[in-house]
């Protein structure tokens, strides 16, 4: 997801929670504490990954278009700049 650099966890939770059961969300940061522009959404049920990808991919957070893809296993969704 090309997420804004000041994105908060609750924004991503609100985007995802009505469609899938989220286990946790990780927003990686650089050594200075700034968001790197992507996030990982871990789901409780691996079968829901495609549902979330279909919903999230192409949407916007504060005028930035989101790209979503399956990453590192069936129960993890990467939301990145690509």
- Domain boundaries, given as residue ranges, for the chain: 9-80
pLDDT digits (tens, 9 = 90+) for 51-81: 999 999 999 988 889 888 887 665 555 565 5
**53 with 68: CB under 8 angstroms?**
yes
State residue 77's pLDDT score. 58
Residues 9-80, CATH architecture: 2-Layer Sandwich (3.30)
**Rounded Cα distance, 13 and 3, in Å:** 13
State residue 80's pLDDT score. 56
State residue 70's pLDDT score. 82
Give pTM, 2 decimals: 0.79
**25 with 75: CB under 8 angstroms?**
no
pLDDT digits (tens, 9 = 90+) for 3-47: 888 888 999 999 988 889 999 999 999 999 888 888 988 888 888
């Amino acid at each position: 997801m090309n997420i804004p650099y000041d994105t908060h966890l609750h924004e991503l939770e609100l985007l995802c929670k009505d469609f899938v059961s989220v286990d946790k969300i990780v927003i990686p940061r650089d050594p200075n504490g700034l968001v790197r522009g992507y996030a990982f959404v871990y789901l409780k049920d691996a079968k829901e990954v495609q549902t979330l990808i279909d919903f999230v991919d192409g949407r916007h957070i504060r005028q930035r278009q989101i790209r979503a893809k399956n990453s590192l296993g069936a129960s993890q969704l990467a939301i990145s700049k690509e």
